[in-house]
Amino acid sequence: MSVASALKGDSAQQARTLYRQLLRQGNQFNAYNFREYAKRRTRDAFRENVSVKDPQEISQLLAKAREELEVVKRQTIISQFFKSNPLVLESPATRGAKAAAEKLEPFGTKMT
């Protein structure tokens, strides 16, 4: 195993670790819109750069991801100070089409 291939595997492991950390940290936002944006932005950024082969560029991208992780950590802490009511989308009673349809049906009738 060459040094280059060992480093390549190491950077791949680092990228996967950062990806998981960013997704987990993004899930800790209280606000639905911020939470979904953080997850979507993380997925898009990593998918956009999946084909990068240059080791120097990979290390720059990993450094940028570490900085982004620190920003997301700070922002999730701040968001926990300013809690808001959950959106209708987040309510367990309105998840799924059947639950939503039951709320709209007149009394005494059930959809099957």
Token digits of residue 29 = 């936002």
- How is residue 101 written in tokens? 């349809």
The distance in angstroms from the start CA to the end CA of the chain is 61
Residue-range domain boundaries for the chain: 3-85
Contact assessment for residue 97 and residue 91, using Cβ atoms and an 8 Å cutoff: no
The set of residues, in sequence order, having a beta carbon less than 8 Å from that of 76 and lying 6+ positions away, is: 25, 26, 28, 29
Of the pLDDT bands very low, low, confident and very high (cuts 50, 70, 90), residue 109 is: low
Per residue in 52-104, pLDDT (tens digit) is: 999 999 999 999 999 999 999 999 999 888 877 777 777 766 555 555 556 66
